[in-house]
Amino acid sequence: MPERSIATLDLPAAVRTRLLRAGFRSKHHLVSLSAAQLAKETGISLDESTRILQRLQPPFDLDAAAKSIQPSSLASRSARAAISTSSVDLDRILRGGIPVGQVTEISGSFGIGKTQIGMQLCVNARIPVECGGPGGEAVYIDTEGSFAPERIADMVLHTTEQLQRQYSLPAHRLSLQTFLSGIHIFRAHDSDRQLEILQHLDQFCADRNVSLVVLDSVAYHFRQGSTDTRHRSRMLHLMSQSMMRTANKHHLAIVAMNQVTTAISPNDPERTTLVPSLGESWTHLVTNRIIVAWRGGQRMATVAKSPFLDRASGWFDVKVPQPVLLLLPILHLARAPAKH
């Protein structure tokens, strides 16, 4: 069913004009916003924005919306509880690992090990169920060009060597080829491509057993000189909406790596501190926020925000892998949806 354009909506002409001037083109872009966001981006009053959004919503059927809890849904949730980070302390503060059905942000400065964590998570997502892993596939969305196939290949070899010593599985189940064939890499060269890939995740995961998606990083293309804050806010909201929908629908874990930026302390204008990029509005668009930082020459991870996790901290380490040669053709480079 085609999207209805703003010009065809049953709204006053003056309202349609203001929506078009604010950059909205279809009903789809409106219904994904809150009344406060619509008011901020268009200059329309909060009350009027609320009435506009209510007018665009289909009639609400309470009986159709009510759902009972099915035992099968509880079983599926417990069957895929979390994805281990391979760090005992990090798993401890996360209650077992990266939670599924949620979007978890990991923020930290350059060189702290965010990419390393993301790649190790991809490897751990491939660990067979018989070995205590999720036995799924992984998607890695690379926005910075920092993904290194030889590094993840080394992680696979290290992981499978440990598994082979502990479990009796056929050799092909724990082979390098098997692990890497289920890790799909997308390269996003700009913010439009980044959004396009995220919006197609639902379709990509429909016929695959994907248990993890890593976005590394969410902020990179939005720190490259964009001055249109309303456009940026809208893009980030659509990205978050796509990630949340995919995480919930397919019951998988999504990890969004984020950079940090310098902010002036509200209590002392002479002091500055490092805070996650993209501003306060982005904070509300992720389920969990983990901040990784240096403390006394060691890496520390802290749960800074979560409706499910306690605020806690833990030390973790990142081992720099040795290069593995002649493995690049093995890694599966996923083809992103073509632009139209």
Q: What is the pLDDT of residues 197-233, one digit of tens each?
A: 999 999 999 989 999 999 999 999 987 655 678 888 8
- What is the structure's pLDDT at 272? 80
In this prediction, residue 204 carries a pLDDT of: 95
pLDDT value of residue 80: 58
| pLDDT confidence of residue 60 | 54
The pLDDT, as a whole number, for residue 226 is 58
pLDDT score recorded for residue 167: 94
pLDDT at 269: 73
Q: Which pLDDT score is estimated for 193?
A: 92
**pLDDT value of position 325:** 38
Q: What pLDDT score was predicted for residue 9?
A: 87
pLDDT, block means (10 residues), the chain with 340 residues: 75 89 82 79 86 76 50 49 90 95 96 94 96 95 92 94 94 95 94 93 94 96 72 89 95 96 78 86 92 94 95 84 39 49
Please name the residues in contact with 315: beta carbons below 8 A apart, sequence gap of 6 or more. Answer: 89, 298, 299, 300, 301
Quote the pLDDT of residue 63. Answer: 54
